[in-house]
Homo-oligomer: A and B are copies of this chain.
Amino acid sequence: MSLDPVLARIDADLPQAIARLQTLLRIPSISTDPAYKGDCDAAADHLVADLSELGFTASKRPTPGHPMVVAHTDGAGPHILFYGHYDVQPVDPLDLWDNDPFDPQVEDTPKGQVIRGRGSSDDKGQLMTFIEACRAWKAEHGTLPGKITIFLEGEEESGSPSLIPFLKENAEELKADIALICDTGLFADKVPAIVTQLRGLLGEEITIKGPSKDLHSGMFGGAAINPVRVLTRILASLHDDEGRITVPGFYDGVPELSNSLRASWENLRFDHEGFLGDVGLTTLAGEKGRMALEQLWSRPTCEINGIWGGYTGEGFKTVLPAEAHAKVSFRLVGSQDPHKLRESFRKMVSDMLPPDCTAEFKAHGAGPAGHMDTSSPAFEQARSALSDEWGVEAAYVGCGGSIPIAGYFKTYLDMDAMLIGFGRDDDQIHSPNEKYDVESFHKGIRSWARILAAMS
């Protein structure tokens, strides 16, 4: 079936497609915060209704957490599974947003039009590129270009607690010939990219406890242990002066970059000064002696994502606090084992505790790094379709983020995955004023139409 009229219809229908995305963005489906449970449910209902209207057999599937959306349609050609997630990150600090994060608007900016709002890029805007491509194809040809399953998760931003059980229980239904995952970006804002390696993620929350209650720092200071001081000492020791992480055994399974991949990444001529400059920085702050793309894609990291303890309000309170807390995460590469590293991290922290202090730990997700096998023909078909749409050769790249779903598809469904997305580095995902370029949305829809045509 012909591609050109589908592309023309996508162009003509763009304002309506944007309006449909805005409707989805208005639902505040923050998965990590229990207060938004009803909104996650509403987002799933909305997608089920939309997909049903497109002719999919769509249903909301309960889990112990937020529901999954699964939709099928029959057709010729290979069976394609498309994955996206309808949940979004929290919006704090709210005062740094210029507008209501859940009242998305189309804005003119010096770089072109953008759709601004929480989830516009991560991942509602991205998942809608695929649904809109299906809509245009169906409208033009009365049918979809092949056998397609759409699988949308509602817990991606909160550690995906229900995902593995769901994949196991529904393996027969979900297994396809290839998975398409739309949760990544263009390379350097310009070059379409297929991600072939992803960092894993290990999340930990630590609570250090000392005195049985908050103390007066005048009455007790100098004699009583301060858990915030203990916590800062432990956290400060997680990196050495070279920027390497000191958790015992941390570098087990961390491979050096192959010569061919190093050459290919060097070829991308990554503008790390521009990348850092966009966020007010000038200097690479990671492991010494590593090029920027290595620091971002193929080296593991340790970050403090949150810290709190004692008095944090206006003014001053001379308290010696009873507790101190931090959220710490590790990005993993190669064959680093998140479960082994969790134990090693906990032991390291516990070993550093002075008398009278205890540490409590809360696990927040553990996913290994992912590596794709690019020898499947689908990779070259997609790369060619993307190159045609964007007028520049699409690249195989790494991704610093953690999208464990690709690894889970391999492990639990024995299925390869292609990670293709249209986000840009300045989309401010997970931050205030998140946006998605109208160009990303428009050409993203067109890209999927081309990829579906090439694969069918």
Contacts and interface: CB of A to CB of B under 8 A. Distances in A.
Interface of A: 31-34, 89-90, 92-93, 96, 157-159, 199, 201, 203, 205, 210-226, 228-229, 231-233, 235-237, 239, 272, 275-276, 279-287, 292, 295-296, 299-301, 303-321, 324-325, 327, 329, 331, 354-356, 364-365, 399-402, 425, 428-433
A311 B236 contact: no
Given A96-B213, A224-B276, A279-B220, A316 B327 contact: yes
Contacts of A157: 317
Nearest to A35: B314
A311 B305 contact: yes
Contacts of A433: 213
Q: Which of A90, A272, A300, A431 has the most CB of B within 10 A?
A: A431
A314 B32 contact: yes
Contacts of A283: 225, 354-356
A310 B205 CA distance: 13
Contacts of A210: 280-281
A147 B204 CA distance: 64
Contact of A223 (B90, B215, B272): B272
Contacts of A239: 229
A157 B311 CA distance: 13
A281 B222 CA distance: 13
B299 A305 contact: no
B432 A295 contact: no
Contact of A329 (B280, B300, B316, B327): B316
B307 A232 contact: yes
Given A216-B429, A222-B301, A223-B296, 9 more contacts: A31-B315, A89-B317, A213-B431, A219-B296, A219-B425, A304-B309, A305-B318, A308-B312, A316-B364
Contacts of A295: 222-223
6 contacts: A210-B280, A216-B431, A225-B281, A229-B236, A304-B309, A305-B319
B213 A401 contact: no
Enumerate the 8 nearest inter-chain pairs by beta-carbon distance, A residue then B residue, closest first. Answer: A218-B401, A32-B315, A212-B280, A236-B236, A306-B310, A225-B285, A283-B355, A316-B364
